């Protein structure tokens, strides 16, 4: 064999040997690994907490429950205590269908509930006691009417936590609390606007007597979030609190 031919054969042998070693140490992916998507396992879950304030209201709340059942979605209802009186069956229906219950004060009257910290907590306690009596369930999730912005202080936060309450504001809003007559298209577009963390959406909706368009928009909103890869979940005991900037710091 000529020297030139010998060198070519030797080089080929070396090349094969190195390729085998590279496979062995994992530099080259195995065929099975090519189809794997390691990034998907580490991708953060996208969750939307669909919430309804101000109920229960006959003719609206029950129809919302039907839509949620049809789309296999669980939500959270922040109820107003005075609305439960005479409508206890509506509250039971929410709970029995697997949705979570939150507290939204008893009177929803701003001049009364925001008079001082004690008045606010008393309103939550009053509604909480009513829920526990009817459902044998202790509701601990609360929502400030109008949101906690410029109201929540460190002192009030401590008092609420001492009472076992957890606060949930929102970072997406249908706008149906301010304008219940807004068009279905407007409500849908509003629902898509997320502030801050887009992986954890606390979506505010209402189930008042003037929220008929909310009912119409709801299937489209659910479809939008599902198609965007979101999972719907109710607010539960292990759901991290979400509240706005606290208005002042304690001076020790």
75-115 tens-digit pLDDT: 999 999 999 999 999 999 999 999 999 999 999 999 999 99
**Alpha helices of 71-113 — where are they, by DSSP H?**
81-84, 88-96, 110-113
Query: pLDDT tier at 249 (50, 70, 90 boundaries)?
Result: low
5: pLDDT strictly greater than 60? no
**What is the DSSP code string of 157-214?**
HHHHHHTT-EEB--SEE--TTT-TT--HHHHHHHHT---S-TTEEEEEEE-STT-HHH
Query: pLDDT tier at 250 (50, 70, 90 boundaries)?
Result: low
40: pLDDT strictly greater than 50? no
The mean pLDDT of 135-149, rounded to a whole number, is: 97
213-228 tens-digit pLDDT: 999 999 999 999 999 9
Q: Residue 44's pLDDT is what?
A: 85
- Take residue 208 and report the two structure tokens written for it: 């008042």
73: pLDDT strictly greater than 80? yes
Q: Residue 2's pLDDT is what?
A: 47
11: pLDDT strictly greater than 90? no
The mean pLDDT of 16-25, rounded to a whole number, is: 40
208 φψ region: left (φ > 0), alpha (ψ -120 to 50), beta (else): beta
Question: Any idea where the domains of the chain sit in the sequence?
Answer: 44-232
Q: Residue 12's pLDDT is what?
A: 54
148: pLDDT strictly greater than 60? yes
Which residues are bridge partners to 48 per DSSP? Answer: 201, 232
44-232 topology per CATH:
TIM Barrel (3.20.20)
Query: pLDDT tier at 233 (50, 70, 90 boundaries)?
Result: very high
Q: Note the pTM of the prediction, 2 decimals.
A: 0.82
Q: Residue 64's pLDDT is what?
A: 98
Q: Residue 101's pLDDT is what?
A: 98
15 φψ region: left (φ > 0), alpha (ψ -120 to 50), beta (else): alpha
């Amino acid at each position: 064999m000529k020297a030139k031919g010998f060198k070519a054969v030797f080089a080929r042998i070396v090349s094969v040997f190195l390729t085998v070693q590279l496979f062995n140490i994992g530099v080259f992916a195995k065929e099975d690994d090519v189809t794997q998507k390691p990034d998907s396992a580490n991708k953060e879950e996208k969750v939307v907490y669909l919430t309804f304030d101000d109920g229960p209201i006959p003719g609206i709340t029950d129809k919302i429950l039907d839509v949620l059942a049809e789309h296999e979605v669980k939500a959270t209802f922040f109820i107003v205590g005075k609305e439960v009186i005479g409508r206890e069956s509506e509250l039971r229906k929410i709970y029995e269908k697997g949705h979570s219950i939150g507290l939204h004060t008893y009177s929803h009257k701003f001049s009364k509930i925001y008079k001082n910290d004690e008045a606010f907590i008393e309103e939550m306690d009053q509604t909480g006691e009513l829920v526990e009596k009817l459902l044998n369930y202790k509701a601990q999730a609360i929502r400030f009417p109008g949101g906690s912005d410029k109201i929540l202080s460190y002192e009030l936060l401590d008092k609420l936590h001492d009472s076992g309450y957890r606060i949930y504001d929102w970072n997406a809003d249908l706008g149906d609390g301010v304008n219940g007559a807004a068009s279905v298209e407007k409500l849908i577009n509003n629902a898509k606007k997320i502030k801050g963390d887009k992986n954890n959406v606390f979506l505010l909706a209402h189930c008042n007597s003037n929220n008929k368009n909310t009912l119409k928009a709801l299937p489209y909103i659910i479809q939008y979030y599902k198609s965007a890869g979101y999972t719907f979940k109710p607010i539960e005991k292990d759901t991290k609190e979400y509240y706005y900037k606290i208005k002042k710091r304690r001076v020790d």
